[in-house]
Structure 1
Amino acid sequence: MRSLANIWFLGMKELRGLLRDPVMLVLIVYSFSFSVYTAATAMPETLNKAPIAIIDEDRSPLSFRIIDAFYPPFFLEPSLIDHAEMDARMDAGLDTFALNIPAEFQRDMLAGRNPAVQLNVDATRMSQAFTGTGYVSSIVSAEVQEFAQGYRAVPELPVTLVERARFNPELNPAWFGGIVQVINNVTMLSIILTGAALIREREHGTIEHLLVMPVTPFEIMTSKVLSMGLVVLVAASFSLAVVVQGLMEVPIEGSIALFLAGTALHLFATTALGIFLATLARSMPQFGMLLILVLLPLQMLSGGSTPRESMPEIVQFIMLGAPTTHFVMLAQAILFRGAGFALVWPQFLALILIGGLLFAYTLSHFRKTIGSLA
């Protein structure tokens, strides 16, 4: 009972310290509100308002028809330029696509000579370049075929393909982006808050005060893990309810309570990781550098941004030791596909094991760090 009381009072001290830190409070609010919304809506995966320029050397009804086929929202209104302007505009980043329709294009097409149309692409804009090339090719081919036929018609295929998009029937990238951003921010904030809490103790000299009090390293560490984990858990719940479901109107298929239970286990591991990084760093700038080295691989290779199946097998195997991999798997299964505990229990078990190992190892290292200060 005395140990629980010590953890309670130390945890309340951590929460009061967080309330007196306006920078951390702003970071928490931003990460689970504006950050979630902007990440989901500011970077669409589909082609949107791509700038295109067209060099029309033919000036025929067919070339005018092709020019008129490019319009918002996929493309901006085409800019009609000449050869001399094309390279300069692409070098300046004004155009992602430059379509060159050669002279006598319509005559050669009607004569069956298979004329070539050149498409120049600014491949530094990787997302638009990859998707937009297919759009441009389809648009030009469709306009040429309809012009040659003399009428607009949809060709009948021998097989009818019926699409049924499950879990995201609108194919809306914001549904995916908003939830993934919440998942990523849970990991980021849990590591930052616990690590910053320990470094703040060291910089303010209050860690020495704790050493002369009748508290153990286990109680000190547990209080930081529980208090900071609770803050992140409440913030994530607010973000899912208000920002994701309320503002963005993203449907949640599964149980929020089950997801929060998995989040709590994930926080048990990542908060311990944050304390471990703080024991290695001697100042907040050092902690920030360590955070970059650890956080980026955890988020990029856990399967949240890209499927794990597309990664090298050695990377997939190594990342099984990271709590973020199992957290992303259970979060996507619950929130996207409505999975129950019967399907995600292996991820729950993995988080318990990884969290226990991280906590035990960090506690051992934390004891040594406090012993050196004493």
Structure 2
Amino acid sequence: MRRLANILWLGIKELRSLAADPVLLFFVIYAFSLAVYSQATGISFELRNASVGILDEDRSPLSLRLREALLPPHFKPPEAIAADELDRLMDTGRYTFVLDIPPDFQRDLIAGHQPQIQLNVDATAMSQAGIGAGYLQQILAQEIAAFLKADPAAPVALQMRIAFNPDNESSWFTGVVAVINNITMLAVLLAGAAVIREREHGTLDHLLVMPVSPLEIALAKLWSNGLVITLATGFSLWFVVHEVIGMPIAGSLSLFLLGVALYLFFATAIGLLLGTVARSMPQLGLLFILVVLPMNLLSGGNSPFESMPFALQVIMSAFPSSHFVAFAQAILYRGAGFGIVWPQFLATGLIGALVLAVALLRFRAAIAQATT
């Protein structure tokens, strides 16, 4: 009971220390509010307002019809260009797509020939280039079939049903990814900064003369910083992602927060470990870039985990961040219950416990070194 009381009061000291640090406090509030909203709404994977130029060498009713079929919000109103301007406008990035309709296109089409329309695509805009080329192909095929009064129906009709995100809202995806990444980022930074702050302010020496053990000091830092992250995560998901952005939370928010608390044993342990290695906040920042940023990028939140090379998948499976992303998406998007996500919970807990043990040993060694 004395050890638990020490851990409790030391953790309360950490919370007071965080509350007295306006920079870190603002950083926590910003990371789970404005940062999530701006990332969710500012980054779009849909095709919107793509610029289109049309080199119309046919000037027929059909070519005019094709031009008028490209409508907002997917495309900006197409602009007519001259033949000698095509290369220059593509080189300067003025248009993402340029349609080149050849001379006598309508006449050759009616005569039963197979004329071709050239579509020039600026593939540096990867998202718009891939999606927009497919949209343009579909629109042009439909308009040409309607002009010829042909039946555009395929022998087999494809009925598409989009599950979990019927409107293909990219903000639902980027908002949750922002929350997931910020959980790791803040947990590592807060735990690491707590250790460095003790060293820089000289309060670590005060703790060492108190009747507390290094284990109690470390656990106090872990639970206090983990509590702050868990509460901020719950607020961000309920208010920013659900209320402001409008994403429905399909599964149990309490189950997800339970998984967050489990994952924080790993993330805060990483911060504690880096805090014992770094001697100042700039050094902690450099270590953060080397460790946490690659872990976030390769965890499966920003790109499908299955798209990575197999060897990289095996390596990242040893990090709880990949399992965290898997059960977070399963709960929040697909409404999965504990019976589905328990393997990811188990893997996160086991790996997190191992890293936590290493971090505690390292912290105890650093404390012992400080006393000598």
Settle same-fold status: TM greater than 0.5: yes
Are 1:358 and 2:334 counterparts? no
- Which deviations, in whole Å up to 9, do the C-alpha atoms of 1:260-313 show, x marking residues without a partner? 111100011100001111222222122111111222222222222222222222
Matched position secondary structure for 1:55? strand
Displacement, 1:173?
2.4
Q: Which is worse superposed, 125-134 or 308-317?
A: 308-317
Query: 1:234 maps to which residue?
Result: 231
**Distance in 2 (alpha carbons) for counterparts of 1:161 and 1:109:** 27
Question: Could you tell me which amino acid in structure 1 is paired with residue 85 of structure 2?
Answer: E
TM-score using structure 1 length: 0.93
Aligned to 1:183: 180
Kindly tell me the number of residue pairs found equivalent between the two proteins: 371
Q: Distance in 1 between matches of 2:37 and 2:227?
A: 23
Q: Is 1:163 aligned with 2:154?
A: no
339, 344, 364: which one aligns with 1:342: 339
- Cα offset, 1:327, TM superposition: 1.1
CA separation of 1:56/1:158 partners in 2, compared to 1, >3 Å: closer, same or farther?
closer
Q: Counterpart amino acid of 2:84?
A: A
Deviation at 1:203, TM superposition (A): 2.1
Q: Write out aligned runs for 1:2-17 (5 A).
A: 2-17=2-17
Mapping for residues 41-56 of structure 1, pairs under 5 Å = 41-56=41-56
* Closer/same/farther in 2, CA of residues 344 and 51 from structure 1, 3 Å limit: same
Report the equivalent of 1:59: 59
Q: Secondary structure at the match of 1:119?
A: strand
Q: Matched residues in 1 for 2:273 and 2:357: separation?
A: 11
Report the secondary structure of 2:336's partner residue. Answer: coil
2:119 counterpart SS class: strand
Cα deviations across residues 201-240 of structure 1 (Å, max 9, x unaligned)?
2222222222222221111111111011000000001111
Higher mean C-alpha deviation, range 334-343 or range 110-119: 110-119
From 193, 199, 204, give the equivalent of 1:202.
Answer: 199
CA shift in 2, pair 1:109/1:162, >3 Å: closer
Per the alignment, residue 258 of structure 2 pairs with: 261
2:78 matched residue in structure 1: 78
* Contact persistence 2:52–2:77 (CA under 8 A): yes
Instruction: Tell me whether 232-241 or 86-95 shows the greater mean CA deviation.
Output: 86-95
Aligned letter for 1:91? D
Query: Given that residues 145 and 152 in structure 2 are in contact (C-alpha distance below 8 angstroms), is that contact kept between their aligned partners in structure 1?
Result: no
Tell me the equivalent position of 2:269.
272
> What TM-score results when the alignment is normalised by the length of structure 2?
0.94
Rounded Cα–Cα distance in structure 2 between residues aligned with 1:166 and 1:107: 44
Q: Aligned residue for 1:24?
A: 24
Go from structure 1 to structure 2 and tell me whether the alpha carbon gap of 1:81 and 1:108 turns closer, same or farther (over 3 Å shift).
same
**In the alignment, residue 255 of structure 1 is paired with which amino acid?**
S
Output the amino acid matched with 1:201.
Answer: E
CA gap of 1:206–1:84, structure 2 versus 1, over 3 A, is farther
Q: Where does residue 190 of structure 2 map in the other structure?
A: 193
Determine the C-alpha separation between the residues in 2 that align with 1:364 and 1:42.
Answer: 43
d(CA) in 2 for partners of 1:342 and 1:243? 28
Amino acid in the other structure paired with 1:25: L
The offset of 1:158, in angstroms, is: 4.1
Query: Aligned residue for 2:325?
Result: 328
Per the alignment, do residues 154 and 212 of structure 1 end up closer, same or farther by CA in structure 2, a change over 3 Å counting?
A: farther
Q: CA deviation at 1:85?
A: 2.5
Distance in 1, Cα, partners of 2:127 & 2:271: 34
RMSD: 1.8
Partner of 2:285: 288
Distance in 2 between residues matched to 1:211 and 1:60, nearest whole Å: 86
1:99-140 deviation digits (Å, cap 9, x = unpaired): 222223223333334223222211111111111111122222
Q: What is the CA–CA distance in structure 1 between the aligned matches of 2:196 and 2:356, rounded to whole Å?
A: 18
**Are residues 157 and 113 of structure 1, via their aligned partners in 2, closer, same or farther at CA, if it must alter by over 3 Å?**
closer
After TM superposition, the structure 1 stretch with the greater mean CA deviation from structure 2, 80-89 or 220-229, is 80-89
**Pairwise CA distance, 1:248:** 2.1
Residue in structure 2 matched with residue 319 of structure 1 by the alignment: 316
Identify the range of structure 1 (5-14 vs 358-367) with the bigger mean alpha-carbon deviation. Answer: 5-14
Q: Which residue of 2 aligns with 1:97?
A: 97
Q: Mean alpha-carbon deviation: is it higher for 349-358 or for 224-233?
A: 349-358
Secondary structure, in 3 states, of the residue corresponding to 1:260? helix
Alignment of 1:146-161 (within 5 A): 146-147=146-147, 149=148, 151=149, 155-161=152-158
Show the 5 A alignment for 1:210-249.
Answer: 210-249=207-246
Query: Sequence identity, in percent?
Result: 54
Residues 94 and 6 of structure 1: CA distance in aligned 2, closer, same or farther (over 3 Å): same
